[in-house]
Structure 1
Amino acid sequence: MTIHDTGIPTPPPGCPAHGSGAPVPLYGPEFASDPDAYYAYLRHLGAAAPVELAPGVRATLVTDHTSARQLLQDSVTFRKDARRWREFNEGHIPPDSPVAPVLAYRPNCMFSDGSEHLRLRQTITESLSQVKPRRLRQTTEKVSDYLIAQFGSRGSADLLADYAKALPLFVFNELFGCPPDIGDRILFGATGMFDGVNAERAVEVLFGAVGELVALKRSRPGDDVTSWLMRHEAALTDEEMVHQLALLLVAGNEPLRNLIGNTLHRILTHEGYAQKGGLIDEALEDTLWENPPMQNLAAHYPAHDVEFAGRKLREGDLILVSFAAANGSPALESARRGSGSRAHLAWSAGPHACPSKDPARQIAMAAIENLLNHLPDVELAVPEDSLVWRPGPFNRGLTSLPARFTPLKVARPTDEQGLGGRTSSEQRPTAAERAPERRGGVWSQFLNWLSK
């Protein structure tokens, strides 16, 4: 970004908004490499500004913290039901637009309003509340151990592809009570949707697998989130069950993947945390402030023509909140300096604030702690400026995070060892001891490993 002598920022290099008044594009490598420059320019345009999420997809983006909170808490003026999206209904959005799968309506709590939203949201919050913190941590540590076992002896890994990307879905599969075959297909479907490889097929596989999981739990309920959702007094239909579970799997995985990856990136690129004894909690909070896993989202639609944040909006216009830009509002600097302040909007706010922020935070903390306990000398394996951020208007995550560390040694059993080849002082095998030997999908391999 450049600054005139007047102190007014101009659009970053490569931005077609130079002098044209055109919407500012929030996609492509230029935006991904330096989003803060774009947000600084957008703030200059006002508390809300015109943007383009993808070619042909225009929206208004709120960048001011106070205005963002006002929008998020006003469920009368601003609605979540994407069936209100005027330009989509009028056919102005290309059918193959890359943002359509994120913004298009689905019958779950994210796209509902009023009493229907409350009914669906309660099924999620009350079911997740039954997951005990101890179980959540133990599940996360087991998954973490398994993933570390796959690369620990190499002395190097891509902490995104090999760890942060897979861990959330593995934990969800365990908590939702997925058997091997269904779990394999859920992992394939949810991962494929975000990787952009045959996304249509990935969606088909995901919803087919979740449908089978619902049918299975109808006949054989268990001690898992799927069964608790099913038993809820809201009496969800099978269709509602499928869409609620898919929301938890997909919308929960992407932010958590990025939160783990972005926090690891921060720890590996800022020496201050190591000097303070590895304060993971502080690193995670700083990440939520400065590099939130979802930078722009919370799509809303005015219920009627309205003037908001200095801009005139028509009924059904698409308006989003920039959590990243709002967190960087100058007015928030003093609030952030306050001890323990969590005034950021990384978890959103209002009636549609993230319903699973506490479990997500617990999973991220346990995953990072366990990784650093196993790999205390882990460090970035490439220059920081060579890292590449994934393009796109919504999420904020790296394409890879190469790291190196002292290789883990695989324990060798001896005749003198007990407990299945381990010394009696060992409570459980190390992460590198147990790698899968049977063929099958990755979830099946994990279950095989877990049963050893």
Structure 2
Amino acid sequence: MSTTPTDFDRTDEQRVALWADQDPDFARLRERYGALVPVELAPGVPATLVIGYRVALSILNDPERFPADPRGWEPTVPPECPVLPQLRYLPNASRSAGFEHARLREVLVAALDEVDLHAVHTVVERTAVPLINGFCAEGAADLVARYAGPLVFAVINALLGCPPEISARAAAGLADLLGGTEIERGGQVFQEALDSLVQAKRGRPGADITSGLLRHGAALNDEELLNQLYLLYGIGTEPVQALIVNALRLVLTDPRFDATLGGSLSTRDALDRVLFHDPPPPNKIISYPRQPVLIGNTWLAANQPVVISLTGCNRDPEIAGDHTGNRAHLAWSAGPHACPARSLAYLIAQTAVDQLLDALPELELAVPEEELRRQTGPLYQTIAELPVTFPPAPPLPPR
């Protein structure tokens, strides 16, 4: 390797079009570029993709040089940039830095620390049973649309203390927001629903996360409170849904998880293997250096996104081997931005998977694994449908 620092101000043709290649060949990229790959998040939107495990750890533990606040980057892209809505600054703990981050995270962690995990287990079970009863007699179902998706949304609403009428409005707003056709209207509806939730909890606080945010966040303004809720919906719905779906896919396709074939691995093992090899979402940990930074022989440009590829880092040959029981993956991030809700996410996903497999132990994929339809983008990749078949079963008793 040359000892001369590499200039990362490359032409678009020299960058990997991450927006067009959602399943990159990490071995080939590693051989050509090393740990730092020049990419585009969208046409004309340069970034650096980190695929080296130890380099990623050093970045995640260096918030002074690699802050998560995108406000220095935003003016460098046009308003119509397709990834701007996903990356723009919000006053929440995941997109702030320094004192602002510490202040917002302290409130978020305090509210999450009050969650009774034993009660959460019960909430997941009580939510899962009617969902399973809705299709258990049919012998077939799409586990994304009929199980993982509605279960996770119902559980996060319960944890936030969101009443049904507000939950319905939030669901409608999220559907438009994530559907991509009515983004502005969906965002407005969703924000109004969250505002209604905050006002409701101010009048009648309870044993829920929203009330906890209000108790611990007296110094937060209304916009900051709303954005903590927005963050909790974000980390509590899509990623946890994807974790459940990916774990179910693994259990249904890997004989090591099939007790009838002598498999001895557990649901927790399945979750950890997913978090190593198919983490959801794979490219959502992003920082923005305030000035040029030299890592090894590579200059990273100021105010240009540095994207941690969880999949690429977790597949780094430096940490290759059997990952069973290993939780050294980066799926929960690391450093001051490490996910404060990982125990909660583990519990929800494990309970959801166990409940379904206990109720329908003879689940099988309805299509070959390679034919599963995926939704992809430069920052995410998820299984869109998980069709299964099973012998029809009687309804479960209420929990």
1:255–1:395 contact (8 Å) kept in structure 2: no
Do residues 429 (structure 1) and 398 (structure 2) align?
yes
Q: For residues 377-416 of structure 1, what are the structure 2 equivalents within 5 Å?
A: 377-410=362-395
* 1:224 counterpart (181, 186, 208): 208
Q: Which residue of 227, 230, 255 maps to 1:246?
A: 230
Give the CA deviation at 1:187.
Answer: 1.8
Following TM superposition, by how much is the alpha carbon of 1:292 offset from its aligned partner in structure 2, in angstroms? 0.6
Q: Distance in 1 between matches of 2:89 and 2:244?
A: 28
Provide the secondary structure at the position in 1 that maps to 2:383. coil
Superposed, 1:306-317 pairs within 5 Å as: 306-317=293-304
Percent identity among equivalent residues?
40
Q: 1:280 aligns with which of 248, 260, 267?
A: 267
Is it true that 1:375 corresponds to 2:360 in the alignment?
A: yes
- Runs of 4+ aligned residues of structure 1 deviating over 4 Å after TM superposition are none
Q: Which amino acid aligns with 1:185?
A: R
- CA drift of 1:247 comes to 0.8
Normalising by the residue count of structure 2, what TM-score does the alignment of the two structures yield? 0.92
Residue 348 of structure 2 aligns with which residue? 363
Larger Rg: 1
Contact 1:296–1:320 under 8 Å retained in 2: yes
Partners of 1:137 and 1:198 in 2: CA distance: 35
The structure 1 residue matched to 2:18, chosen from 26, 32, 37, is: 26
Residue of 185, 195, 207 corresponding to 1:201: 185
Q: Distance in 2 between matches of 1:171 and 1:235?
A: 28
Aligned residues: 385
| Structure 1 position 290, deviation (Å) | 0.6
Tell me the distance in 1 between the aligned counterparts of 2:219 and 2:44. Answer: 40
Q: Is the 8 A contact 2:18 2:41 kept in 1?
A: yes
Residue of structure 2 equivalent to 1:257: 241
Matched-pair contact (CA < 8 Å) for 1:348–1:354: yes
SS at the partner of 2:187? helix
Residue number in structure 2 paired with 1:447: none
SS state at 1:241 partner: helix
Structure 1 residue aligned with 2:3: none
Structure 1, unaligned stretches of length 5 or more?
1-18, 412-427, 431-452
Q: Give the Cα–Cα distance (whole angstroms) in 1 for the partners of residues 24 and 248 of structure 2.
A: 20
**Aligned counterpart in structure 2 of residue 55 of structure 1, from 22, 28, 43:** 43
1:176 counterpart residue number: 160
Equivalent in the alignment of 2:95: 111
SS in structure 1 of the partner of residue 146 of structure 2: helix
Q: 1:153 to 1:114 in 2, by over 3 A?
A: same
CA deviations on 1:200-237 (whole Å, 9 max, x unpaired) are 22211111100011111111111111011100055322
- Do the aligned residues in 1 keep the contact of 2:310 with 2:331 (CA within 8 Å)? yes
Partner amino acid for 2:183? A
SS in structure 1 at match of 2:326: coil
SS in 2 for 1:166: helix
Partner of 1:41: 28
In structure 2, C-alpha distance between the alignment counterparts of 1:116 and 1:68, rounded to whole Å? 23
Q: SS at the partner of 2:376?
A: coil
Q: Deviations over 1:287-313 (max 9, x none)?
A: 111111111122111121221243212
| SS of residue matched to 1:382 | coil
Distance 1:269 1:192 in 2: 33
Gaps of 5+ in 2: 1-10
Q: Matched residues in 2 for 1:278 and 1:370: separation?
A: 17
Map of 2:278 onto structure 1:
291
Amino acid of the structure 2 residue aligned with 1:388: R
The 8 Å contact of residues 48 and 309 in structure 1, kept in 2 or not, is answered as: no
Q: Letter of the aligned partner of 1:255 in structure 2?
A: P
Partner residue of 1:89?
A: 75
Task: Tell me if structure 1 keeps the 8 A contact 2:310–2:330.
Answer: yes
The answer as to 2:62 corresponding to 1:77 is: no
Partner of 1:146: 130
Question: 1:47: how far off?
Answer: 1.1
Kept in 1: contact 2:375–2:381 (CA 8 A) = yes
CA distance in 1, matches of 2:68, 2:370: 38
1:268 and 2:255 are equivalent in the alignment: no
> Deviations for 1:249-276, whole angstroms, at most 9, x for unmatched residues?
0233111111111111111111221132
Whole-Å separation in 2 of the counterparts to 1:171 and 1:407: 26
**Structure 1 residue identity aligned to 2:136:** G
Q: Which amino acid aligns with 1:54?
A: A
Greater Cα offset, 250-259 or 284-293? 250-259
**8 A Cα contact 1:292 1:396, kept in partner:** no
Q: Give the C-alpha shift of residue 21 in structure 1.
A: 5.3
Normalised TM-score (structure 1): 0.81
